[in-house]
Amino acid sequence: MQLQDILFSQGFGTRRVCAGLIQQGRVSVDRQPVTDAAAEFEAAGLRFAVGGVEWEYHEKAYLLLHKPAGTECSRKPSAYPSIYTLLPPPLRQRPQKAATQGVQAVGRLDQDTTGMLLLTDDGQFIHRMSSPRHHVPKVYEVTAKHAVDERQIGRLLEGVVLDDDPRLVRAAACELAGERLLRLTLTEGKYHQVKRMIAAVGNRVEGLHRSRIGGLALPADLAPGQWRWLSPADLALLEP
Ligand code: URA
């Protein structure tokens, strides 16, 4: 693949901008500047640097972000900064692929919710991870306003009715982790689902953190606001 096309596919700007970056000597491969925009490289696994910043070619982007509180999952946020501002410019500017708008979040978390958020430009992956038919479990650590009792846990497991659907919505698992702390596993992703389920059993969410999706837990060394690429092993844990 030509170097200018590699840069373009990774979000470094239009083809013309990418060709310009190369011709200006700002791009190196194996620490050697390359000034021929049409130079051919094997894209898979290619490491290169643009303006001194190291990058690795990824045909598709699969990312894990530790969403901090006070950020919105929208590209056009209304009150708080967008989560997309936490990504480096190439990831925000990757060209659009079929059915996606470049890199986008897999589902949304509320402004005040923290924890695991997946982002990708693979539309089929988004579909598989979000579709209720695929039952990907998501684990939430809930801090409730009032002490949680066994009756509330029983109701969450049996199912509660939310205001937009007469069908019962159940927690796949629910355990007490402290007097006001609940670990709740859901396999669907309805709007404000945790907050509405907790309200339906007469309590209230004061803090919400997503700690696990499928078999992948939020790594302890990924601080709020940080992101990283998902490895093939991570992806296998998400989709066993
Ligand atoms: N359920 C909620 O109520 N909010 C979230 O952010 C995620 C799940």
Q: To 10 degrees, the CA torsion angle through 104, 108, 111, 113?
A: -120
Q: Looking at residue 96, what is its pLDDT?
A: 82
Helix, strand, coil percentages for the chain (3-state, nearest 5): 25, 30, 45
- Residues 191, 73 contacting (CB under 8 angstroms): no
122-130 mean pLDDT: 92
Structure tokens at 95: 């060209």
- Residues 227, 65 contacting (CB under 8 angstroms): yes
Q: Looking at residue 7, what is its pLDDT?
A: 97
Locate the ligand 1 atom nearest the alpha carbon of residue 112 and give its number.
Answer: 6
Q: Which fold has domain 3-56?
A: 3.10.290
Say which CATH class 62-132+216-238 falls into.
alpha beta
Residue-wise pLDDT tens digits, 87-112:
999 999 998 876 677 999 999 999 99
Q: How far is it, in rounded angstroms, from Cα 142 to Cα 173?
A: 13
Q: Looking at residue 101, what is its pLDDT?
A: 79
Residue-wise pLDDT tens digits, 36-47:
999 999 999 999
- Residues 211, 218 contacting (CB under 8 angstroms): yes
CB of 110 sitting under 6 A from ligand 1:
yes
Is 112 a residue of the active site?
no
CB of 190 sitting under 6 A from ligand 1:
no
Neighbours of 192 (CB within 10 A): 13
Q: Indicate the pLDDT class of residue 140, thresholds 50, 70 and 90.
A: very high
CB of 216 sitting under 6 A from ligand 1:
no
Of 132-141, 193-202, 221-230, the least confident: 132-141
Residue-wise pLDDT tens digits, 161-219:
998 888 999 999 999 999 999 999 999 889 999 999 999 999 999 999 999 999 999 99
CATH number of the domain at 137-213, please? 3.30.70.1560
Q: Looking at residue 97, what is its pLDDT?
A: 72
133-149 mean pLDDT: 95
How many angstroms separate the Cα of 226 from the Cα of each of 77, 78, 121?
Answer: 19, 22, 19
Locate the ligand 1 atom nearest the alpha carbon of residue 110 and give its number.
Answer: 6
DSSP, residue by residue, 120-180: ES-HHHHHHHH-GGG---EEEEEEESS---HHHHHHHHH-EEETTEEEEE--SEEEEEETT
What are the structural domain ranges in the chain? 3-56, 62-132+216-238, 137-213
pTM: 0.94
Instruction: Give the contacts of 232 (CB within 8 A, at least 6 positions apart).
Output: none
3-56 and 137-213, same CATH topology = no
| Percentage with pLDDT > 70 across the chain | 99
Q: Looking at residue 98, what is its pLDDT?
A: 66
Q: Indicate the pLDDT class of residue 128, thresholds 50, 70 and 90.
A: very high
Q: Looking at residue 23, what is its pLDDT?
A: 98
58-69 mean pLDDT: 97
Catalytic residue among 5, 110, 112, 234: 110
Mean pLDDT of the chain: 95
Q: How far is it, in rounded angstroms, from Cα 188 to Cα 130?
A: 8
